[in-house]
Amino acid sequence: MNCRHCAVPLSHTFLDLGFAPPSNAYLTAADLAKPEKYFPLRVKVCDQCWLVQTEDHAQANELFNPDYAYFSSTSSGWLAHAEQYAAQISSELNLNANSLVIEVASNDGYLLKNFVAMRIPCLGIEPTDSTATAAEEKGIPVLREFFGEALGKQLAREGRQADLIIGNNVYAHVPDINDFTRGLKSVLKPSGTITLEFPHLMRLLEHCQFDTIYHEHYSYLSLSTVSRIFKAAGLRIWKVAELDTHGGSLRIYGCHDEDDRADHQSVVAMLQLESNYGLQQLDTYLDFQARANKIKDDLLCFLIKQKNAGKKVAAYGAAAKGNTLLNYAGVKPDLLPLVCDAAPAKQGKFMPGSHIPILEPVHLSVDKLDYVLILPWNIAEEVKHQNASLEASGIQFFVAIPKICIL
C-alpha cells in the first residue's frame, strides 16, 4: 500500500487490531443468523508526510450505507458545541442572507439548523439516507452524495460556491483525502473560509485512544500533515484552535493560498508543539501496540473479576469506538450482557462482532447493575449527569481508556 497523500510505499505498522466488522454496522435479530463481514484493521504511518492511515480494504459504500445509524443530535453536548460554533463563525465572517454555507457530512442537520434559524442560506452534503432525511425534516436542503473534486467543480459551475465550508469529523472519514481537499478548493469562494474539525493525532497518542481507530476512519490527523495536504491543493491553514471534543480535537481555519489573511500565531505554536511531541519521528509511534494491548488486557481482567464475584456489568453508549474496544478485547454477552443507548436507530439491534444487544436506557435502572462501562468516554461527564439517580443508588460508572477508572 502507498500513502494516501504522498504515494510513497508504507512499511511501518502503527497498530494491528486484527480483524473486525465495520464499527457502525449494527445488526438486526435476522442478521445474527447470517455471515458477518470482517476486514483487517491495521494502521500504518507514512515516514515522509506522517499521515497515519488504515490499510485499504473496505469501500466507503460498505461503511456508510443508507441505514447508517450515527445521528449527531443524540448528544446534547455536541448540539451545544454546534450552536456555539454557528453563532461565533456567523459573527466573525458577517454571514447574512446573501451568503452560502455548505456543510460536508451534514448528518441529521445538528449544525445547519442553526444557520436556518438565522436565515443564512445553507446546503448539506450527506450520502446516508437515514440522516439526510432527518436533516430535510429540519428544513435543510441536502445533496445525497459523497463529496470530492467532481462535486465541488459541479457546484462551482452552478454558481454555488461557499462563503463558509464546514466539515466536522469528516476529514478522517474520506478514502481519497487529496480529492476531497481539491473539492474544498473548487467550491470555495475567492474570499471564503473553510473550517474542519478532527480528532488530533497527538492526543490519540498521548492518551492511547486506540478505540477511535476503526474502518470508517481512514486517516488520523495532525496539523503538520493537514497543512501539507492543504498546500498541495492550493489552500492554506491560517488559524487553528484546540477543542476538547472527542478526547482532543483541532479546528483548522483554511482559505485559498493567495488569500491576504495573515497566518495566526496559533498555527506556528501548534506546529512547534507537534514537533516537540515527536510527530515527525518514527520512534514516537512504535510503542503504541503494547500500550493498546495493556488496556485490552486490563478491561478483560476487570470484567472477568466482576463476573466471578457475581457482579453485573452493562455498558452505556453503542458507539463506534466501543465496538473497536469490545471486538479487539473479544468481549461477548457473557461478560457484558447489554449496552444501553439513547439513539432509537440503534435500540433493538446488536453490536457488530460482539452481538451484545442494544437496549433503551431504562434498562440501566431496572436490571440491578453494579457497574456501567461508558464506552463513549468523551461524553462520560454528560452520561453521568444524565444518570445521576443511578449513581445515587450505588451503581458505579467507569471508563476503560486511557485506563480503568471508576468515575
What confidence score (pLDDT) does residue 346 get? Answer: 93
User: In the predicted model, what is the mean pLDDT of residues 131-142?
Assistant: 92
Would you say residue 134 has pLDDT above 60?
A: yes
What confidence score (pLDDT) does residue 78 get? Answer: 83
Cis-peptide into 175, omega within 30 deg: no
Which residues lie closer than 8 Å to 71 by C-beta, 6 or more apart? 107, 108, 110, 130, 131, 134, 343, 345
Q: Residue 390 belongs to what H/E stretch?
A: helix 388-392
Please tell me which residue, 93 or 216, carries the higher pLDDT value: 93
Encoded amino acid at 397, one letter = F
User: In the predicted model, what is the mean pLDDT of residues 356-380?
Assistant: 91
Would you say residue 326 has pLDDT above 60?
A: yes
- 372 DSSP β-pair partners: 314, 397
Encoded amino acid at 183, one letter = G
Q: Taking all residues of the chain, what is their mean pLDDT, rounded to a whole number?
A: 93
User: In the predicted model, what is the mean pLDDT of residues 354-382?
Assistant: 92
* Grid cell of 51 as nine digits: 499521515
Phi, psi of 159 (to 5 degrees): 80, 25
Would you say residue 63 has pLDDT above 70?
A: no
What confidence score (pLDDT) does residue 68 get? Answer: 53
What confidence score (pLDDT) does residue 64 get? Answer: 54
In the chain, the domains with their CATH numbers are 146-285 (3.40.50.150), 289-406 (3.40.50.720)
What confidence score (pLDDT) does residue 368 get? Answer: 85
- Cβ neighbours around 334 below 10 Å, total: 9
Percentage of the chain modeled with pLDDT above 70: 96
User: In the predicted model, what is the mean pLDDT of residues 318-338?
Assistant: 95
What confidence score (pLDDT) does residue 220 get? Answer: 96
What confidence score (pLDDT) does residue 245 get? Answer: 84
Report d(CA 319, CA 241) in Å as an integer: 26
Encoded amino acid at 167, one letter = G
pLDDT band at 387 (very low <50, low <70, confident <90, very high): confident
What confidence score (pLDDT) does residue 343 get? Answer: 87
- Confidence (pTM): 0.86
Report d(CA 105, CA 94) in Å as an integer: 23
